[in-house]
Amino acid sequence: MLNNIRKNKSFVSIVNLIGQIFRFLPPNLITTISLIVVFFSGYYYYLGLTYIGAVILAISGFLDLVDGSVAKYTKRTTVLGGFLDSTFDRIGDGIILLGIGLSYNLTLCFIIMIGAYLISYMRAKGEALGVKVMGIGIGERAERILIIFVFSFINLEIGLYVLLVVVYITVFTRFYYISKELKTKT
């Protein structure tokens, strides 16, 4: 859902501006810094300091936007960069959910993490099989991070249940969509 913003001209202009500002940094370095920053976010969530964890999570998310912006602006997009970005995103998701889980409810966070990884896996597998999956479902990574961020300031425990519902609606939506699309290909 939020991925559709990428097509907005104003958003593209902002992304290009960000790429221009940070063009002196190698994109893969920014990706790595974003991963390091997310470890601090997970640690503060573990300590139960949700406001600090959320602010650091937002910084990591901003850096995750910057790496792609710089790569596109400087024409340094690479297959390796895309691989690092996706891999580090999965590690970051796990770190955040582990930190929250150790502070609140580890079992619930583990179930959410399985769903979040299924969402990513189904996109990768679906697209490898020729099915365009981006934008299918209500809980892609940007939405999941936004839910964690917002509920960090409201009530993170309630936010985890909202996240659980959103994640599994997305899992089932993608499963149904990909299955339907693959039936038409055989």
User: Catalytic residues, which ones?
Assistant: 89
Query: Which residue type is seen at 176?
Result: Y
Neighbours of 100 (CB within 10 A): 28
Classify residue 84 as exposed, middle or buried by CB count within 10 Å of its CB (0-12, 13-18, 19+): middle
Question: CA-CA distance, 172 to 44, in Å (whole number)?
Answer: 32
Question: CA-CA distance, 75 to 83, in Å (whole number)?
Answer: 17
64: its two tokens: 């995750």
